[in-house]
Structures are given as C-alpha cells and as structure tokens.
Amino acid sequence: MINYCVGCNISHPDWGWKYSAEFEGWLCTKFHTPSGASEMVSEETEEGRKEYFNSLLQPYRGGVLSKEYIEAHGTKGISATKEEVKKARYVWRDLKNWENRAKTK
Ligand SMILES: [Zn+2]
C-alpha cells in the first residue's frame, strides 16, 4: 500500500509500514525491521490510541524513559535502571488522547 513515508519524505508504496510515534508518521521497511504483523499493528495504532493509549505506549522516547509508561505498566517489563526511573519524564504529551490516558487500556 502507498503511504507518506516520513523516512524518505515522499509517498511511495511499501509492504511493511510501521507507525513511528517518534516521527509521528509512517516508516517504510528501509527504516525498520518488519515483522509479519507490523502492518496490522500500525493500522490499529492511529484509531486504537483512543481506546488503548496506555497499551500502545513505548517505554522510551529519544532515550528518555516515559513516565506515562511507568504509570501504566510499571518497570517490570523493561530493563530500566534506577537512575532512568528517577529521570523519567512525560515524553508523550503531544500524542492524541494523552490527557485521557488513565481511562484507556
Ligand atoms: Zn520510505
């Protein structure tokens, strides 16, 4: 399918799009390692963020640990150091539905 690719900065066809929260757009397979399910996951991401904001959170952004992530999931699933946890910040404020995230899954 054809998407606007934030990696190449053009619209072009690719078979394994991945939504990048960091770049707020789609990345083609040149910029990520596609898994078989990547297309499905990325299609759900935009719509799903309303309902599943917390589930879709990435634990890190630009190397900074996400406070939203810790609030939603704790630190069990990630290998964060104590120092990283102490420095955790709200790094996903610009995402849609951020303010309602406590009500999401
Ligand atoms: Zn591309």
Predicted local distance difference test score (pLDDT) of residue 44:
57
What distance in angstroms lies between residue 64's CA and the mean position of ligand 1's atoms? 26
Q: Read off the tokens for 90.
A: 């709200």
What distance in angstroms lies between residue 24's CA and the mean position of ligand 1's atoms? 14
Predicted local distance difference test score (pLDDT) of residue 59:
93
What distance in angstroms lies between residue 29's CA and the mean position of ligand 1's atoms? 7
What distance in angstroms lies between residue 20's CA and the mean position of ligand 1's atoms? 12
What pLDDT tens digit does each residue of the chain (105 aa) get? Answer: 899 999 999 999 998 888 988 889 999 988 887 655 444 455 556 667 778 888 888 899 988 999 999 999 999 889 999 999 999 999 999 888 899 998 888
Predicted local distance difference test score (pLDDT) of residue 38:
43
